[in-house]
Amino acid sequence: MRMVFRGVAASDGIAIGPLFVLQHAPVEVEERRGVAVDAELARLDDAVAKTKQDLQSLHETALERLGPDEAAIFTAHLQILEDPEFVGATKRQIETDQVNAEFALTTVSNQLVALFEQLEDDYLRQRAADIKDIRQRVLSHLLGTGSANLSNLTHPVVLAAVELTPSDTVVLDKRRVQAFITDVGGRTSHSAIMARSLGIPAVVGLGSATASIPPGTTVIVDGFGGEVIADPDAAEIARFTERMEEAAADAKVLATLKGEPSVTRDGHKVELAGNIGTPADLAAVLDNGGEGVGLFRSEFLYMNRDTAPTEEEQFTAYRDVAERLAGKPVVIRTLDVGGDKEIPYLDLPKEANPFLGYRAIRVCLDRTDLFRTQLRAILRASHYGNVKVMFPMISNVSEVRRAKQVLAEVKDDLRREGVPFDDRMEVGIMVEIPSVAVAADLVAPEVDFFSIGTNDLIQYTMACDRMNERISHLYQPYHPAILRLVKMVIDGAHRHGKWVGMCGEMAGDETAAPLLLGLGLDEFSMSAGSILKIRQRVRNLRFADAEALAAAAVHEESQEAVRARVARWLEQAGEHRS
Ligand code: PEP
Ligand code: MG
């Protein structure tokens, strides 16, 4: 039955394909007594065999995309499946109680989880999470709810889920996932950001699409317009196929701008860089003509594993990126854990307001063991390229001073040990909390650069959770208040001779580009797939015109009025296609 869903356009592109629904199996399972024991044992064997296949291919994918240490978790899970305490005990329970496989598996794994959770030893306590994860995988095969494994899909699909976590998306097989749609989330939730960096069309915040569309139904995903059509008619398929072809033709034109400078028609030059989560993402940035990496979200190195990455592992990852950039800059952001980015082994307390809580630099200044290890790795990598370090979630000048103090101490250690590093490595901060934006001129003397994190800056300014689709209409990048804050940051920094970048998603937005350019932004860092579109826009503009546009836009009364002004301006004299 034809159905249309409206959501938030999260990543450009059109896809048409069968729906694959990713369902995490329910925690409560039904108990059935007096079952045919042999049949239940066979069902269990079959589900375990399928889970092993999943884990093997997850291991291969993680190895290829993330490296041996991150992949090790899947080998550990395979070992648990081979342990007689787990599958053997489940079989005994089926036999003695004549009970269904799901129920026996849940009972046995709950007992093991309870046992591990009581232990003192941190490492062993973590095993409880592994058991839960494996239970979910085996259960999803037993219940036929669709594999929780995104890395070994056998045919191209449109992936649907209530929510995708950053660790789900990192192992996603992009040759098979043509697009994804989720019930919750906004444009700046991390799964949406990941979709853009992988170049996969996505619509998020669809409400109830996952439960309403039967698996296997053909769907059209319009990542430009934020629409999903289930069971479309032939005319719709033809229309969207044509749009897919147009988008492919546009991409060809953009590709010709790959090696061109990012300079306006009247000679004003800016830098267009890419955002990455792991070294594997760098290829897309370079393929799209990125002039550097303006944000390396280092927390992705800490995900999908059991312990924090060692200094050596981090050093290898940072040096790899620095060397491949061959002199172009990379801004490595120190660990930004918290908000929607969970790292279970750090054992951070559950909080009522995680976006306003113990996160990012607040954790690092408290857990200086973690912070020092990371700073050592970054400093060591600075010897091999153009590396800059950046601290996230800064709210006041004393945090900057304390972070720099730790950095100075780590430098002293390295100097004493005779380890080479770039002593003049630039130090910057993210401006994503309004207190720092408003007082930018007071903080500027402490840093070499700012990078505006609009994803968080907008949510804190508008008091609007970036993940909450119900209030996504209040998440307003073009609100004059946001433009004024951006202006305060740029003016405050320029007064002290410091440069300003932007690494929030707004930097890759074509409508925002003339405004940001006109406000004097020096560097724009974005998902790889947006770089060439923004370069095209910059090259078609005159800086002087953009300055006049921005000066007028900050006096508009609303986001709608700003948008309308930019649209009129682009239509009239603003943009000249060459
Ligand atoms: C931001 O807040 O704009 C930003 C770039 O950081 P993140 O999206 O990782 O929170
Ligand atoms: Mg942020």
Q: Name residue 22's beta-bridge partners.
A: 161
- The reply to whether ligand 1 has any atom less than 6 angstroms from the CB of 147 is no
Residue 307 sits in the same domain as residue 203: no
Distance CA 149, CA 151 (A): 6
Per-residue pLDDT band at 50 (split at 50, 70, 90): confident
- The reply to whether ligand 1 has any atom less than 6 angstroms from the CB of 299 is no
| Residue of 511 and 142 predicted with greater confidence | 511
Number of domains in the chain: 3
User: What is the per-residue pLDDT across 53-86, written as a single tens digit (0 to 9) for each?
Assistant: 878 877 777 677 656 766 777 788 888 888 878 8
- The reply to whether ligand 1 has any atom less than 6 angstroms from the CB of 454 is yes
Q: Is the pLDDT of residue 487 over 90?
A: yes
Residue 454 sits in the same domain as residue 479: yes
Evaluate whether residue 257 is within a structural domain.
no
Q: Please identify, among 90, 115, 143, the residue that sits at the C-terminal boundary of a domain.
A: 143
- The reply to whether ligand 1 has any atom less than 6 angstroms from the CB of 336 is yes
* Alpha helix ranges (H) inside 118-184: 122-143, 166-170
Could you count the other beta carbons within 10 Å of the beta carbon of residue 1? 8
Provide the 3-class DSSP secondary structure of residue 566.
helix
The enclosing H or E element of 227 equals strand 227-230
- The reply to whether ligand 1 has any atom less than 6 angstroms from the CB of 448 is no
Going by C-alpha positions, the residue among 543, 532, 550 that lies closest to residue 575 is 543
Per-residue pLDDT band at 570 (split at 50, 70, 90): very high
Which pLDDT does position 70 carry in this prediction?
Answer: 60
Residue 159 sits in the same domain as residue 215: yes
Under a CB-based contact definition with an 8 Å cutoff, are residues 528 and 288 in contact? yes
Q: What one-character DSSP code corresponds to residue 18? A: E
Going by C-alpha positions, the residue among 365, 450, 379, 377 that lies closest to residue 408 is 379
The enclosing domain of 162 has a CATH number of 3.50.30.10
* Alpha helix ranges (H) inside 275-349: 282-287, 311-324
Per-residue pLDDT band at 417 (split at 50, 70, 90): very high
Which pLDDT does position 151 carry in this prediction?
Answer: 60
Which pLDDT does position 578 carry in this prediction?
Answer: 41
Give the chain's mean pLDDT. 90
Q: Is the pLDDT of residue 166 over 70?
A: no
Average pLDDT for 122-148 = 73
User: What is the per-residue pLDDT across 506-558, written as a single tens digit (0 to 9) for each?
Assistant: 999 999 999 999 999 999 999 999 999 999 999 999 999 999 999 999 999 99
Q: Please identify, among 218, 238, 258, the residue that sits at the C-terminal boundary of a domain.
A: 238
Whole domain around residue 482: which residue ranges? 271-573
**Highest mean pLDDT: which of 34-43, 342-351, 365-374?**
365-374
- Compute and round to an integer the Cα radius of gyration of the chain: 25
Provide the 3-class DSSP secondary structure of residue 274.
strand
Q: Is the pLDDT of residue 153 over 80?
A: no
184-188, 250-254, 290-294, 562-566: lowest mean pLDDT where?
184-188
Distance CA 77, CA 134 (A): 7
CA of 204 to the centre of ligand 2 (A): 19
The enclosing domain of 44 has a CATH number of 1.10.274.10
Residue whose CA is at the smallest distance from ligand 1 atom 3:
453
Distance CA 244, CA 299 (A): 34
CA of 133 to the centre of ligand 1 (A): 28
Evaluate whether residue 75 is within a structural domain.
yes
Going by C-alpha positions, the residue among 263, 273, 20, 3 that lies closest to residue 150 is 20
Which pLDDT does position 139 carry in this prediction?
Answer: 86
Distance CA 292, CA 273 (A): 5
Per-residue pLDDT band at 334 (split at 50, 70, 90): very high
Average pLDDT for 299-303 = 92
For residue 269, the one-letter residue type is K
Residue whose CA is at the smallest distance from ligand 1 atom 4:
453
Average pLDDT for 276-291 = 94
Residue 182 sits in the same domain as residue 292: no
Class of residue 571 by CB neighbours under 10 A (exposed 0-12, middle 13-18, buried 19+): exposed
Evaluate whether residue 416 is within a structural domain.
yes
Evaluate whether residue 482 is within a structural domain.
yes
Under a CB-based contact definition with an 8 Å cutoff, are residues 388 and 318 in contact? no
- The reply to whether ligand 1 has any atom less than 6 angstroms from the CB of 456 is yes
Evaluate whether residue 554 is within a structural domain.
yes
Evaluate whether residue 260 is within a structural domain.
no
Evaluate whether residue 247 is within a structural domain.
no
49-53, 403-407, 473-477, 566-570: lowest mean pLDDT where?
49-53
CA of 90 to the centre of ligand 1 (A): 44
List of residues 6+ apart from 238 with CB closer than 8 A: none
Q: Tell me the backbone φ, ψ of residue 65, rounded to 5 degrees.
A: -85, -35
Per-residue pLDDT band at 306 (split at 50, 70, 90): confident
- The reply to whether ligand 1 has any atom less than 6 angstroms from the CB of 518 is no
Residue 199 sits in the same domain as residue 126: no
Residue 282 sits in the same domain as residue 408: yes
Which pLDDT does position 192 carry in this prediction?
Answer: 83
Sign of the CA dihedral running 135, 141, 145, 151: positive
Distance CA 436, CA 430 (A): 9
Under a CB-based contact definition with an 8 Å cutoff, are residues 475 and 455 in contact? no
Residue 12 sits in the same domain as residue 89: no
Which pLDDT does position 146 carry in this prediction?
Answer: 55
Q: For a substitution probing ligand 1, which of 455, 525, 530 has the most ligand atoms within 8 Å of its CB?
A: 455
Which pLDDT does position 51 carry in this prediction?
Answer: 86
Q: Is the pLDDT of residue 463 over 60?
A: yes
Q: For a substitution probing ligand 1, which of 194, 275, 430 has the most ligand atoms within 8 Å of its CB?
A: 430
8-12, 23-27, 391-395, 458-462: lowest mean pLDDT where?
23-27
Could you count the other beta carbons within 10 Å of the beta carbon of residue 458? 26
* Alpha helix ranges (H) inside 478-554: 480-495, 512-519, 531-540, 543-553
CA of 130 to the centre of ligand 2 (A): 29
Per-residue pLDDT band at 577 (split at 50, 70, 90): very low
**Ligand 1 atom with least separation from CA of 188:** 8
The residues annotated with a catalytic role in the active site are 190, 503
Residue 317 sits in the same domain as residue 405: yes
Residue 135 sits in the same domain as residue 185: no
Q: Please identify, among 97, 117, 143, the residue that sits at the C-terminal boundary of a domain.
A: 143
Q: Is the pLDDT of residue 497 over 70?
A: yes
- Angle in degrees, CA 530, 9, 489, rounded to 5: 55
Which pLDDT does position 78 carry in this prediction?
Answer: 86
Going by C-alpha positions, the residue among 195, 198, 175, 177 that lies closest to residue 187 is 195
CA of 338 to the centre of ligand 2 (A): 10
- The reply to whether ligand 1 has any atom less than 6 angstroms from the CB of 297 is yes
Residue 206 sits in the same domain as residue 346: no
Q: Is the pLDDT of residue 310 over 90?
A: yes
CA of 234 to the centre of ligand 1 (A): 41
Q: For a substitution probing ligand 1, which of 191, 450, 456, 502 has the most ligand atoms within 8 Å of its CB?
A: 456
24-33, 470-479, 492-501: lowest mean pLDDT where?
24-33
Measure the CA dihedral 122/126/127/130, to 10°.
-170
Q: What is the pTM assigned to this prediction? A: 0.77
Evaluate whether residue 282 is within a structural domain.
yes
